Copies of this chain bind each other. A is one copy, B any other.
Amino acid sequence: MTPELEKAPLLPAHAKQVFKGVIFEVHQWEQELFDGSFKTFEKLRRNDSSVVIPVLSNGKLLIAEDEQPGRPLVYTFPGGEGETGEDPETTARRELLEETGYTADTFTLLRSSVPSSKIAWTIHTFVAKDCRRVADPVLDGGERITTREVTLDELVALADDPRFQNRDLQIPLIKARYDTEVRASLEKLLFG
């Protein structure tokens, strides 16, 4: 994400919502083109998502094996969509607890990224250190989630597995596979 992209509003102020579904809203606006003519532009919006990298006191990370109806199993860090008006850290805490039964004192925002230029949608990724299990997971009928502890090496090996879901973490993880400095700074970030 470029600094310009981060600063630009994700939807123009004069965009109008033309449809609201269960996940996505559709927004449209008349956009002036480079030649002075106008065209209907369209962009989607959905509630922001939060993702948590849960770090355990044994030096491992907690990853979810997540199956949903009609979709094959994926490997993903816990997380999900925010409720309307919910702040990203609250979403992160709620999703970690619901999906895994784990919590932590401190959630640190690692990055906020916008995966698509056509969707006003930000994914906030948090690191939660010293996670501890405090409850059983609470899954709804559309979730089948089991958790697995992985080492950083195992995570790095998983990064380009087609089932690995956290696409915006793939590049740093793959660089860490080859570059000892990237690897050391990732280790410090998670365990330092």
Residues of A within 8 A of B (CB): 1-2, 4-5, 8, 12, 18-19, 21-24, 26, 28, 31-37, 39-42, 44, 69-72, 115-118, 140-144, 160, 162-163, 167, 170-171, 174-175, 177-179
Contacts and interface: CB of A to CB of B under 8 A. Distances in A.
State the majority secondary structure of interface residues on A: loop
A72 B5 contact: yes
B69 A33 contact: yes
A101 to B, nearest CB: 19
Contacts of A31: 69-70, 142
Contacts of A23: 42, 118
A142 B34 contact: yes
A122 B133 CA distance: 40
Nearest to A139: B34
A71 B8 CA distance: 8
A117 B162 contact: no
